[in-house]
Chains A and B, each alone.
Chain A
Amino acid sequence: MKPHRRKKLTIIAFIATGLSVAIGLSLYALSNSIDLFFTPTQVAAGEVTNGQRIRVGGMVKEGSVVRSQDSLHVEFMATDYSHDLLIRYDGILPDLFREGQGVVAEGMMANGSFEASRVLAKHDENYMSVEVKAALDAAERDRALPPAETEGAADGS
């Protein structure tokens, strides 16, 4: 083998090793840090095990928000209009958190309610996150009913 060929081969081997190590590590890291998304209906069906880190989403049920008067504790219902899920949170709710609007919470299930470590009320121009929309659509398909919740979703664009 000519020297410059050998050098080229060394460089290629160098790059290939580096890349495969990186891809292996990335996939390992990924497998440990993905959070699955569940709808209230899926949670009600018992698809979630206690203590598993997940995200849940739905609309904040009108009139369901209860704020403690002497601590930061907040409780509210997230709904996909088929099932409700009680979400408990110790912290400050984001600006865009509102009753009747979409919400996504990160955390885990504990004794039938959801202990949130973070509450997100992100939205696009139509005030609805992809995840919340998917949750509502899925629940709607299950019920096979005409959409009754578009009112809360289409506002404000």
Chain B
Amino acid sequence: MVPELGQFALILSFCLCVLLGTLPLVGAGTGNQLWISLARPLTAGVFVFLSLCLLILGYSFVTDDFSVAFVAQHSNTLLPLQYKITAVWGGHEGSFLFWTWMLAGWMLAVSIFSKTMPDDFVARVLGIMGLIGAGYTLFMIATSNPFDRVLPLSPADGADLNSALQDFGFIIHPPSLYMGYVGFSVVFAFAIAALLSGRLDSAWARWSRPWANAAWAILTIGIALGSWWAYYELGWGGWWAWDPVENPPMINWLLGTALIHSLAVTEKRGVFKSWTVLLAIMAFAASLLGTFITRSGLLTSVHAFASDPTRGVYILGFLGFVIGGSLLLFALRAPLMKSEFGFEAVSREVFLLANNIILVVASAAILLGTLYPMVYQAVSGGELISVGPPYFNMIFVPLMGILVLFMVIGSISRWKKTSVAYLKKQLMIVAVASVALGLVLPLALTMEFHYGASIATALGLWIVLGIVQDIRIKIANKGSVLVGLRSLATSYIGMQIAHFGFAVILLGAALTSIYSIEKSVLLSPGERVELGRYVFQFDGTEHLSGPNFEAERATFQVFREGEFQRELHPEKRVYVASMSPSTEMAIDAGFTRDLFITLGEERESGAWSMSIYIKPLVRWVWLGAILMSLGGIVAVLDKRYRRLKVRTLQKAEADKSGKPAGDDYQPVSG
């Protein structure tokens, strides 16, 4: 009975989405105040009923209702409670419901935190999100209903959640990734609402920016959590593999990064309007494409859901409809998107444009590599190929290098016009210092020259010293340093934290790739193996019983230069219900290096195969992502986004009449 209630709530949410996607939009078009005012209550309704769906599905999991097909496929009576709850997003149907609920969550947030915007604009934004929600809920009802039943012959027990998913990472990675992903539909809705209403002004950019920054910050964390989880769960010591399903979030992240910078220019200078709108459409399209790639089953990957062609066709149709419609509207409204001010060839605008082009090119190249196997298969008549990490690294690494160069120049240069002499004067010392330290530091620490490590160190320091220099310039005439630092705008501080985070990621990613060492060996109990400055002693294994698994737990003693450091305990588990094996790594995490042991299999002789890794600075990759995300959140908290409606409107009018917006603030840019 309860699952039928869920089914009913799902259909009801679809109906409410359809209402939300029509009445307020028509109302905003015709000036019907009653219909405009329906937007917020309808949004609340959609959220309530989708929440109900989610709760009911969760209830079915917790009560082991295996008559629900989705529960039977992804749960088991032995499954620990936290995984029963999170198994809701452990498969296609449930994760799509969760995804749609996230959309409803963002809609609710927009309806609450939009008091400073005119009602008709909010009605349009919510209406467009309602249309997207209608597409998602219809998709579920038509092709992937999580409440489908197996009746009358319900299985006595479930098939269990995939053992690789029974981990803490699974509890936090999908929610944050989905939340970031879906967040870009808010920015998309803002862009379409602006196109519909014809008000593509600084006010629109200012309203969009906190949402874009928030979605971007959450997506950053989501991707980083995925990388961290893959690192400690998948067992090959890697933190990024250019897997076909890792790539779409990365594409989205790159487009999102371009978008938040382009929005900054649009808000500050009233230029790049059409570009910003296009980026908002592209970022949303990328999120749909990611959904398509993951759920159509066209690509082999660790993440792939069960393949079902009808789902792929539906998503592709929806993608075509949304993107086609948006681009048509974009073309019709193109005359509205005139730039309000000009700028010179050397100015912050131009450097930000360069940054945008690099980011878009990088995402296009990743898209090409991701889709190429599919296209090749179609063109060659079924021949299968794969595109490996070398391709992605060859494209991505140099592009990011160039991006870093522009990043510092862009944030130190001024709007409208900057003299080359000024840039030279401010940046020469930064350039010299970073190149010199880049050459010396890796050499001094490792006693060996490596050109990649030197370039990476120089680029990382270029960012860090560039930030220091920029802040120094900003506070130069403020009396004391403390007064100067206090006077910096919140969003400026956010931007510099994020840029610093990028430097940390760059250093971590590059140096851990260069300096990691590993060894695969076969060891009998009592044997030792040496790696780098460490010695690992294998003391054998013991049997262990978990709640729903049986395990062999190994003991290692780690010595560094003869001195005992600590014990490490990697495990080999077999989950009882599915009989699927799973390797639990043992990791000694550290700020400067990770020690990492993964068990292979036991031989008849009692020896175990195993891999041991030493990975310097690998934590910096995620630390940097946390800093970037923090920077995004700090920027969202800037008070100026919460000004009263009246003032925003006055400002918008002032912008139209030719006065540049807010020169007193430092924008999030670079």
List residues of A whose CB falls within 8 A of some B CB.
4, 7, 10-11, 14-15, 18-19, 22-23, 25-26, 29-30, 32-37, 55, 67, 69-72, 90-96, 104, 122, 124-126, 129-131, 134, 156-157
Please state if A124 and B364 are interface contacts (CB–CB under 8 Å): no
A122 touches which one: B300, B361, B390, B609 (CB < 8 A)?
A: B300
Which DSSP category, helix, strand, loop or mixed, fits chain B's interface? Answer: mixed
| CB pairs A–B below 8 angstroms (11 shown) | A22-B361, A26-B368, A30-B368, A92-B609, A93-B601, A94-B235, A95-B580, A124-B305, A130-B299, A134-B382, A156-B159
Contact B583 A70 (CB under 8 A): no
Contacts of B604 in A (CB 8 A): 69
Within 8 A of A (CB), among B306-346: 306-307, 342, 345
Decide: A33 and B387 in contact? CB cutoff 8 A: yes
Q: B386 contacts A55, CB within 8 Å?
A: yes
A126 adjacent to B598 (CB under 8 Å): no
Chain A positions within 8 Å of B345 at CB level = 7, 10
Contact call B372/A96, Cβ cutoff below 8 A: no
CB distance from B654 to the nearest CB of A (A): 23
Q: Which residues on A sit within 8 Å (CB–CB) of B601?
A: 67, 92-93
Asked whether A22 and B306 contact (CB < 8 A) given A37-B385, A122-B301, A131-B300, the answer is no
How far, in Å, is B586 (CB) from chain A's closest CB? Answer: 15
Evaluate contact between B384 and A134: CB separation under 8 angstroms.
yes
Chain B interface residue count, Cβ-Cβ cutoff 8 angstroms: 60
List 9 other contacts, CB 8 Å, given A33-B388, A36-B384, A157-B73.
Answer: A7-B342, A26-B368, A36-B385, A37-B384, A67-B601, A70-B605, A71-B522, A92-B609, A95-B583
CB <8 Å contact, A18 and B361: yes
Knowing A30-B368, A131-B384, the reply to whether A95 touches B522 (Cβ < 8 A) is no
B300 touches A72 (CB 8 A): no
Q: Is the CB of A29 within 8 A of B394?
A: yes
CA distance A35 to B389 in the complex (A): 11
Q: Does B589 contact A (CB under 8 A)?
A: no
Task: Indicate the member of A30, A35, A36 with the most B CB atoms within 10 Å.
Answer: A30
Partner of B580, one of A25, A37, A69, A96: A96
The distance in angstroms between the C-alpha atoms of A4 and B341, with both chains bound, is 11
Residue numbers of B with Cβ under 8 A of A are: 73, 91-92, 159, 162, 164, 235, 297-302, 304-307, 342, 345, 353, 357-358, 361, 364-365, 368-369, 372-373, 376, 382-388, 390-391, 394-395, 399, 520-522, 578, 580-583, 598, 600-601, 603-605, 607, 609-611
Whether A95 contacts B581 in the complex (CB less than 8 A), given A22-B365, A134-B382, comes out as yes
Given contacts A91-B520, A156-B159, contact A34 B305 (CB under 8 A): no
Q: Which residues of A contact B164 (CB under 8 A)?
A: 95
Provide the residues of chain A in CB contact with B92, threshold 8 Å: 125
Q: A33-B394, A92-B611, A131-B300 are in contact. Are A19 and B361 (CB under 8 A)?
A: yes
A30-B300 in contact (CB<8A):
no
Shortest beta-carbon distance from A83 to chain B in Å = 17
**Distance in angstroms between the alpha carbons of A124 and B342 in the assembled complex:** 53
Q: B276 → chain A, closest Cβ, in Å?
A: 15
When C-beta atoms are compared, the residue in chain A nearest to B298 turns out to be: A130
List residues of chain A with CB within 8 A of the CB of B388: 33-35
Min CB distance A151 to B, Å, is 16
Complex Cα distance, B361 from A23, in Å, reads 8
The answer for the CA separation of A14 and B364 in the assembled complex, in Å, is 17
Please measure, in the bound complex, the distance between the C-alpha atom of A157 and the C-alpha atom of B72, giving whole angstroms: 10
Indicate if the CB atoms of A34 and B522 lie closer than 8 Å.
no
User: In angstroms, how far is the closest chain A Cβ from the Cβ of B150?
Assistant: 13
Q: Do B383 and A122 have beta carbons less than 8 Å apart?
A: no
What are the 10 tightest A-B residue pairs by CB atom distance, in nearest-first order? Answer: A37-B384, A92-B600, A33-B391, A125-B306, A22-B361, A124-B304, A33-B390, A29-B394, A130-B300, A129-B300
How many angstroms from the CA of A88 to the CA of B542 in the assembled complex?
31
Residues of A within 8 A of B298 (CB): 130
A134 to B386: give the CA distance in the assembly, Å: 14
A156 to B163, CA, bound (A): 12
Q: Are the CB atoms of A30 and B372 closer together than 8 Å?
A: yes
**Bound form: Cα–Cα A140–B387 in Å:** 27
A13 to B385: give the CA distance in the assembly, Å: 35
* Given A124-B305, A124-B307, A129-B300, A72 contacting B521 (CB threshold 8 A): yes
Residue of B306, B600, B603, B607 near A124 (CB, 8 A) is: B306
In the assembled complex, which residues on chain A have CB atoms less than 8 Å from the CB atom of B357? 14-15, 18-19
- CB nearest to B611 among chain A residues: A92
A126–B386 touching, CB < 8 Å: no
Q: How far is the CA of A110 from the CA of B433 in the complex (A)?
A: 51
Counting chain B CB atoms within 10 Å of each CB, the highest count among A36, A94, A124 belongs to A124
Contact B159 A157 (CB under 8 A): yes
- Complex contacts, B395 vs chain A, CB 8 Å: 22, 25-26, 29
Q: A92: which B residues are within 8 A, CB to CB?
A: 520, 598, 600-601, 609-611
Contact partners of B376 in chain A: CB under 8 A = 34
Tell me if A30 and B605 are in contact (CB < 8 A).
no
Alpha-carbon gap, A34 to B601, bound state (A) = 32
CB-defined contacts of A157 to chain B, threshold 8 Å: 73, 159, 306
